[in-house]
Amino acid sequence: MNSNALKWGLLIGTLPIFIALNVMFGSITIPFADILSILLGQDSTSLAFETIIWNSRIPRILTAILCGAAISISGLQMQVLFRNPLAGPYILGISSGASLGISLLIMGASFFSITSFVYTSWTLAIASTLGALLVLFIVFVISLKVKDIMTVLIVGIMLGSFTTALIGVMQYFSSADQLKTFIIWTMGSLDAVNYEEISVITLVVTIGILIGVFNIKALNLLLLGEGYAKSMGLNLSKSRLWIILSTGMLAGGITAFCGPIGFIGIVVPHLCRIWFKTANSKVLFPASILMGINFMLLSDFIAHVPNSDIVLPINSVTAILGVPIIFWMVLGQKKISNSI
């Protein structure tokens, strides 16, 4: 019990540290005194500093927090629903659906000879949301008709492959500039999200997580297998729909504004399982939220290489940072496949 308290303390205690790091460091060096006075609402030596803090760093931190929590929770729910350690937030084809929307927007624009198209974050968000909703809707309808959850999983993966193939065709016919725009979107980004967008993400993520909280009981029952879950009064198709809905909102909402944020959705729930040595969703749910936020804040701090102009793709950072941790933890474990 004591060691668990220590773990919770660590997860919560690192949050302000990582937030502070992200406020203090970035491409531009801002003196510490200025940062303090800006945060306290006083005058600083440069107006540019204020803009950087309030319009770049703070929104980025808020996005990282929302993103880390949302993606980790959708990954956790998918892993339990499909009883598969490789499942993640995008297993149902949400990211490929979103990618299809984006590639239709970017590359399809030229087909309709819309040459002077402006890619705002809103048009990108709407396109990816429509794409993700389309795929999710198909999965939804099928999960209503199909009893076997593995069939749903296969349908999700196949839809993903199908949309990826469509994207491939479009890419073949698109220009180098269009390709670059698309590829950069797939790398994910927490930048360029403004407060208006953050308020939309906050709403979607809050609802998604609230639904997730209501799913915790079902997630634990599903650990025993569907037969037992049903015998304990769980309405399988109903809880399946709520889990898919929550995942769709969380992963879809983030993907719309930040692109498909990979890796942490699969990895964070595993890190929590290994660290807390439990598969109990009552523990994993809050742990994944905290661990996901920490992971995302740290990755974003590294992505904006301090005191340089370099901004690394966030998806590359999460993977480069996460894989060694996973190796270190997994190789120390006997059976990772048995951990769910």
Partner 1 sequence: MKAPVIQLKSALVGYGHREGVCPIMLPINVSVKEGEFICLIGENGKGKSTVLKSISGEIPYLSGEVLINGKLLPSISASELAEQMSLVLTDRIQIGMITVGELVAFGRYPFTNWLAKMTPLDLQIVHDAMDSCGVLNLKDRYYSNLSDGEKQKVAIARALAQQTPLILLDEPLNHLDLINKAEIFSLLKRLCVDFKKTIVISTHQVELALQAADKIWLINGKHQLIETTPEAAIENHLFEEAFISDKVKFDPLTKTFQLKAI
**According to CB under 8 A, which one of 230, 307, 310, 320 is a site residue for partner 1?**
230
C-alpha separations of 177 from 12, 100, 113, 182 in Å: 43, 17, 15, 9
Indicate whether 270 belongs to the interface with partner 1 (CB under 8 A). no
Q: Which window, 160-168, 187-195, 255-263, 331-339, contacts partner 1 (CB under 8 A)? A: 331-339
Residues in binding contact with partner 1, number by CB under 8 A: 28
Do 129 and 101 form a contact (C-beta atoms < 8 A)?
Answer: yes
Considering the rule CB under 8 A, would residue 251 count as an interface residue with partner 1?
A: no
Judged by CB under 8 A, does residue 213 bind partner 1?
Answer: yes
**Contact with partner 1 (CB under 8 A): which of 16, 233, 324, 332?**
233
Q: Please, which residues bridge with residue 311 across strands? A: 304
Residue of the chain from 6, 20, 141, 224 that contacts partner 1 (CB under 8 A): 224
Q: Which stretch binds partner 1 (CB under 8 A): 138-146, 240-248, 276-284, 314-322?
A: 276-284
Q: Answer yes or no: are the C-beta atoms of 315 and 262 closer than 8 Å.
A: yes
What are the CA-CA distances from residue 168 to residues 44, 165, 256, 302 (Å)? Answer: 50, 5, 20, 31
DSSP secondary-structure letter at 331?
H
Q: Which of 27, 84, 207, 277 binds partner 1 (CB under 8 A)?
A: 277
- Binding pattern to partner 1, positions 54-93, x when CB under 8 A? -----------------------------x----------
Compute the least distance from the CB of residue 243 to partner 1, in Å. 15
Q: Select the residue interacting with partner 1 from 30, 69, 100, 279 (CB under 8 A).
A: 279
Q: Which two tokens stand for residue 206?
A: 């809050």
Binding region for partner 1 (CB under 8 A) out of 109-117, 178-186, 199-207, 226-234: 226-234
Q: If binding is defined by CB under 8 A, does position 225 make contact with partner 1? A: yes
Q: Does 282 bind partner 1 (CB under 8 A)?
A: yes
* DSSP state, residue 311: B
Does residue 7 bind partner 1 (CB under 8 A)?
no
DSSP string, 121-143: HHHHHHHHHHHHHHHHHHHHHHH
Taking the C-alpha atoms of residue 289 and residue 192, their distance in angstroms, rounded to an integer, is 23
Instruction: Using CB under 8 A, pick the residue from 137, 173, 228, 327 that binds partner 1.
Output: 228
Tell me how many helices (H) and strands (E) the chain has. Answer: 14, 0
Q: How far is the CB of 284 from partner 1 (least distance, A)?
A: 10
Directed axis angle between helix 264-276 and helix 2-24, to 10°?
140
Q: Which is nearer to partner 1, 193 or 221 (CB)?
A: 221
Both structure tokens of 168: 């491939």
The C-alpha atoms of residue 237 and residue 88 are separated, in whole angstroms, by 20
Query: Is residue 120 involved in binding partner 1 (CB under 8 A)?
Result: no
For residue 174 the two structure tokens come to 């698109």
Q: Contact region for partner 1 (CB under 8 A) — 122-130, 244-252, 277-285, 290-298?
A: 277-285
Q: Which residues contact 232 (CB under 8 A, 6 or more apart)?
A: 221, 224
Which has the closest alpha carbon to 307: 29, 68, 15? Answer: 29
Among positions 146, 149, 166, 223, the unique one binding partner 1 when judged by CB under 8 A:
223
Q: To the nearest whole angstrom, how small is the minimum distance from the Cβ of residue 80 to partner 1?
A: 11
Residue 280 engages partner 1 in binding (rule: CB under 8 A): yes
Question: Hey, how many other C-beta atoms are within 10 angstroms of the C-beta on 9?
Answer: 10
Query: Does residue 145 touch partner 1 according to CB under 8 A?
Result: no
- Binding footprint of partner 1 on the chain (CB under 8 A): 83, 213-214, 216-217, 220-221, 223-225, 227-228, 230-235, 273, 277-280, 282, 335, 338-340
